[in-house]
Amino acid sequence: MNLAQKDIQHNLGRFSLTALGIGMLLMIVMGMGGIYRGIVEDATLLIDRAGADLWVVQRDTRGPFAELSRVPSSLVHRVAAVPGVESSRRFVYHTIQRELQGEPFRMAILGLDWPTDHGGWLPLIRGRTLQQGHYEMVADRSLGLRLGEQISLGKDTFQVVGITDGMLSASGDGIGIFSLADAQAVQFDTPGEAIRLERAAREARGESFELTVRQPDVLENVWKPTAQLPAVARPQISAVLVSLAPGARAEQVVDVLAGWGDVSVYTAEGQRDLLLRGTVDRARRQIGLFRVLLTVIATIIMALILYTLTLDKIHSIALLKLIGASNLVILGMILQQALILGCVGFAIAYVAGSQLFPLFPRRVILNNSDLVQLAVVVLAISLGSSFLGIWRALKVAPNEALT
């Protein structure tokens, strides 16, 4: 006869509620680890999926994801001429927050160097990638946009031609993929009144300039769009992505690029490490602290519950000792109850988490290594929390059954 099983059946209601409470607490611990994994996945997603060997960014910056990076668009041609470089492409990345149908709409914008990069590496679930250089976009499904829907950004209207899954920024915002020219048009969009005032200011400054005094026809250029002025550079980009030729040594290419005074260069792994040690590091430490606190709380709660269950069985334990039951039988009963409570709680946590975590606003990723680690922790908690109940059971004297 299994005493632990009989005792659980006798107090099934209390045991079920206790297991449910422990399961909910363990689900939170499980979710904390999953949220951290999701943050890491979101932060490094573009680095992993873009498939670039090197990232060339603004000098002394840490790349477009950690901070603002601005390099000239013509840098892509300089990089392509370096020995060992198979191809280079421009990269634009920024975040916008607008209003869509009366609700706040936040989106990370990724600009592809179309037609060099059509977005064939995107994880499409519906639709297609970009097939023209303007007025098309691919949206992640978390943005809530439908295939074929049109959205106005700046002075242009874009049609959603594809839907991706899991394309999120480090802050959890859905990513919209545009051609590089369209991404820059949204980024540098200026209201019409601001353009008019800037042109008027140009004219006012030009009237007192010596060259325009001698050549008044020069002032006609001040009313042209900025992009048509020969002295004004093209809009800057965030980075240049480099793919190395087969057999090329990354160290040699990095040495050449690092010698340029206007850029910094990182390998894909280096860019990933910068994100994890910078943007994600505080979140990792904070979530880790919460996991430790919740684990300690779960241990204390299980210890108190098992101690309370032991107190309720004082008379029964004394009676068992009186009829000759050994301490090992009683210890086995308490240990089995603790292990059953931990296993049932872990199962409840996993089942409930699998249903609830997809509804969270941030991605929650449960991998096997984290689940195994948590299972070992739950086993240790179950064994450790049973010590208080065991200690009380060992103090029970057989004659207490006669009182």
Per residue in 100-118, pLDDT (tens digit) is 877 888 999 999 988 888 8
Q: What is the mean pLDDT of the chain?
A: 81
Q: Are residues 163 and 78 in the same domain?
A: yes
- pLDDT given at position 227: 54
Q: Are residues 158 and 17 in the same domain?
A: no
SS3 string, 178-206, reads EEHHHHHHHHCCCCHHHHHHHHHHHHHHH
User: Does the pLDDT of residue 324 top 70, yes or no?
Assistant: no
Q: Are residues 15 and 84 in the same domain?
A: no
Q: Choose the weakest-confidence range: 8-17, 143-152, 253-262.
A: 8-17
Q: Average pLDDT for residues 241-246, to the nearest whole number?
A: 91
Range of the domain at 385: 3-42+281-402
Q: Choose the weakest-confidence range: 82-86, 123-127, 327-331.
A: 327-331
Q: Are residues 346 and 389 in the same domain?
A: yes
Helix (H, G, I), strand (E, B) or coil at 160: strand
Of 119, 269, 268, which Cα lies nearest the Cα of 180?
119
pLDDT tens digits, residue range 369-385?
888 888 888 888 777 77
What Cα–Cα distance (Å) separates residue 145 from each residue in 135, 165, 166, 298? 15, 12, 14, 42
Give CA–CA dist 264/183, Å, rounded.
23
Last residue of a domain, one of 229, 244, 277: 277
Q: Of all residues in the chain, what percent carry a pLDDT higher than 90?
A: 17
Q: Are residues 32 and 67 in the same domain?
A: no
**Banded model confidence at residue 401, pLDDT cuts 50, 70, 90:** low
Q: Choose the weakest-confidence range: 13-27, 49-63, 126-140, 185-199.
A: 185-199
Q: Are residues 247 and 291 in the same domain?
A: no
User: Does the pLDDT of residue 1 top 50, yes or no?
Assistant: no
Last residue of a domain, one of 277, 294, 309: 277
Q: Average pLDDT for residues 293-299, to the nearest whole number?
A: 79
Q: Average pLDDT for residues 280-307, to the nearest whole number?
A: 78
Q: Are residues 219 and 353 in the same domain?
A: no
Helix (H, G, I), strand (E, B) or coil at 4: helix
- pLDDT given at position 109: 92
Q: Are residues 200 and 297 in the same domain?
A: no
Q: Choose the weakest-confidence range: 6-15, 220-229, 252-261.
A: 220-229
Q: Are residues 152 and 266 in the same domain?
A: yes
The count of domains in the chain is: 2
User: Does the pLDDT of residue 213 top 60, yes or no?
Assistant: no
pTM: 0.72
Q: Are residues 295 and 350 in the same domain?
A: yes
- Length of the chain, please? 403
Structure token digits, residue 144:
């809530």
Q: Are residues 243 and 342 in the same domain?
A: no
Last residue of a domain, one of 226, 257, 277: 277
- pLDDT given at position 377: 83
- pLDDT given at position 299: 76
Q: Are residues 215 and 313 in the same domain?
A: no
Q: Average pLDDT for residues 223-228, to the nearest whole number?
A: 58
User: Does the pLDDT of residue 138 top 90, yes or no?
Assistant: yes
- pLDDT given at position 158: 94
Give CA–CA dist 388/307, Å, rounded.
6
